[in-house]
Amino acid sequence: MSSETIEHSPLHILFFPFMGHGHMIPMVDMAKLFASKGVKITILTTPINAPSILKAIEKSKTISNINIQTIKFPCLEAGLPEGCENVDSIPSPQFVPVFFKGLELLQEGFEQQLSLLHPDCVVSDMFFTWTPDSTAKFDIPRIVFYGFNFFAMCAYECVRLYKPYENVSSDSELFVIPNLPGEIKMTRMQVAEYLNIGNWLETLTKFRESEEKSYGVIVNSFYELEKDYADYYTKVIGRRAWSIGPLSLSNNGKEQSKYRGKEASIDEHEWKKWLDTKEANSVVYVSFGSIAEFSDSHMKEIAMGLEASGKSFIWVVKKSKKDGDAWLPEGFEKRIEGKGLIIRGWAPQVLILEHEAIGAFMSHCGWNSTLEGVAAGVPFITWPVAAEQFYNEKLVVDVLKTGVSVGVKRWCLFSNVDDSVKWDTVEKSVRKILGKEEEAEEMRKKAKLLSRLAKKAVEEGGSSDLELDAFIAELGSLRG
Ligand code: UDP
C-alpha cells in the first residue's frame, strides 16, 4: 500500500480477548465503541468463541466496521478435551493450569494474522503475555487490557513490591498496603500474593514484564470514579493509561443486541413484569459472576439468609434443573413465591440492574459486575471470591463507601471457596443495605451520584469520551 493510501485508510485495531466471559464481554463492548468512532476493527478469537461475539455485535450499527477472524486453539496438543476453548468449558479444576499454558500455543496463529492484517495497533488481554514479543516483530504497538480498575492495578503493584503480608504474624492481623493512597487495610489470607496458589507471584511478574514492553494500558473505568488511583498509576507507577468506561454504558442504544456473553435464561417480559410490581430500591440482585462455584451447603446459607431478610430478591444460580435441588432448603421455592425470583443459568444482568426496583447488588465484585452496578447507581453487598475481587471490595466499601461487606476471609482459586459466611450475616447485610437508616440512605445517595458521573463520562465530551478520542488521535499520529 502506498503511504498516501495508508494515510487515508481508517485506523485498524486488532482486539484479542481472553476466552472467558469476564474478559470477552468488555473487550467486545470496547471493539464496538472504537468502531462507532470510525475505526476498523478485527476481533481475533477461536472458532468456538466466534458465534458468541457475532451475536453481541450483529445488531450494532457499526457492524460493517467489525470483522471476526479465528485461529485454531489446539486443545488436544495442549492436553485439553476437544472444544475446551473457553474457561467456561474447563471440565475440572486440574485443567485450569493446562488451559492457561495452552494459551501459548496461540502465538503462531496470532503472528500469522499480524503478517496478513498488519493493523495499526493490537489490544490484547493480559493473559497473552507474549503479545509484545509478537507485535515487536511487526513494529505494531501493543496495548494491554487487564479488565481491572486503577485501584486494583495499583494495589497489586504495591503489594508485589513491598510484600506487606510478611510483616504480620497471624491470618487475622491487618496490614496497610504501603504507599497506596487511602490507608487500605487487608489480611494476608485475602491477598493472592501471600497464598501464592498456582505460583501467582511468578505470573504477576510476567504480567508486569509484558506490560513494560507494551505501549500502554486501556482501562474499563472512568476518571471521576478513582482519580487518586488513576493518577497514582500514571504518575507514580509511571504507565501510560486511558480510561474509557464504563463500557457497559457505551453501547446500550436501543438498536444494540441485548446479548452479553450468553443467551439469557429468562424472557425479558417475565423478569420485567416481576420487577415492575416492586417498589423502587426494594429488591436485592444476587449474582456471583460467570465462574465462581459455591457448594450446596453454602448456597443453602444464602437461601436461608435471603428468606430470613424478608426482602425481595433476584438470585442468579448457575445450577440447572438437571443438577438437582440439593442446594435448596426444603420447600424454599414455594415459600418465597412472589418474594424471590431465581434465574437458573444466565441473567440479562445489565438490563436488570438498570430497573428502578433494584436497590442493592450482592456481588462477588468481579470488576465488570461492579462497574455495571456503579453505572446503575446501586449500593453493594460485597462477597469477593478470587482474582482481584478482594481489592475491588476495598474500593467499593472503603473508598467509594457504597457497600457493606459480608466479611469473606480467604481468597481462593476457582474451587474450595471460603464458605464461612452464614445465613444470619446474609440476612443482616440485606436488611441493612435496603433499610431506611442514615448509613443506607447515604450509600444510596453516593451510588446515584456515581451513576450520574459514569453516564456523563461516556457522553460526548465526557472524560472517557475525550480519553478515547485522544487515544485514537495518538494512534493516528504514530502512522507518521
Ligand atoms: N453476566 C451476565 N449474566 C450472568 C452472569 C454474568 O450478563 O448471569 C455478565 C456480567 O454482566 C459481567 C460478566 O458477565 O459483564 C461477568 O464479569 P465479572 O467481571 O463481573 O465476573 P467474572 O465472571 O469474570 O468472575
pLDDT digits (tens, 9 = 90+) for 106-147: 999 999 999 999 999 999 999 999 999 999 999 999 999 999
Q: Looking at the structure, do residues 324 and 419 belong to the same domain, yes or no? A: yes
257 part of a folded domain: no
Q: Are residue 243 and residue 287 in the same domain, yes or no?
A: no
Answer whether residue 57 is part of any domain.
yes
**Residue 69 and residue 139 share a domain:** yes
312, 340 contact by CB (below 8 A): yes
Domain extent for 470 = 3-250+458-478
**What ligand 1 atom has the least distance to the C-alpha of 23?**
24
User: Model confidence over 252-291: pLDDT tens digits?
Assistant: 665 567 889 999 999 999 999 999 999 999 999 999 999 9
Compute the chain's Rg from CA coordinates: 22
For residue 435, is pLDDT > 60? yes
Pair 227, 273 in one domain: no
Average pLDDT over residues 422-449: 98
**Does residue 451 sit in the same domain as residue 462?**
no
Of residues 277, 279, 145, the one with CA closest to residue 218: 145
Active-site residue, 23 included: yes
User: Ligand 1: distance of its center to the CA of 9 in Å?
Assistant: 36
Q: Are residues 311 and 414 in the same domain?
A: yes
* Core vs surface per residue 331-358: b (16+ CB within 10 A) or e: ebeeebeeebbbbbebbbbbbbbbbebb
255 found inside a domain: no
Q: Is the per-residue pLDDT at 472 higher than 60?
A: yes
Distance (Å, whole) CA 115 – CA 41: 16
- 219 and 463 in contact (C-beta within 8 Å)? no
Q: What is the mean pLDDT of the chain?
A: 94
Same domain, 21 and 169: yes
Q: Which ligand 1 atom minimizes the distance to the CA of 147?
A: 19
Is the CB of 363 within 6 Å of ligand 1? no
* Cβ-contact 114, 44 below 8 angstroms: no
Q: Is residue 405 part of a domain?
A: yes
Same domain, yes or no: 242 and 269: no
Residue 7: what pLDDT?
59
**Do 235 and 356 reside in the same domain of the chain?**
no
Mean pLDDT of 22-39: 96
What's the number of domains the chain is made of? Answer: 2
Query: Does residue 256 lie within any of the structural domains?
Result: no
Can you give the CATH number for the domain in which 404 is found?
Answer: 3.40.50.2000
Q: Do 42 and 96 fall into the same domain?
A: yes
Residue 290: CB within 6 Å of ligand 1?
A: yes
Q: Are residues 211 and 302 in the same domain?
A: no
Predicted ipTM? Answer: 1.00
Paired with 313 in beta bridges are 284, 340
Looking at the structure, tell me whether residues 394 and 246 fall in a common domain: no
Q: Is the pLDDT of residue 299 over 90?
A: yes
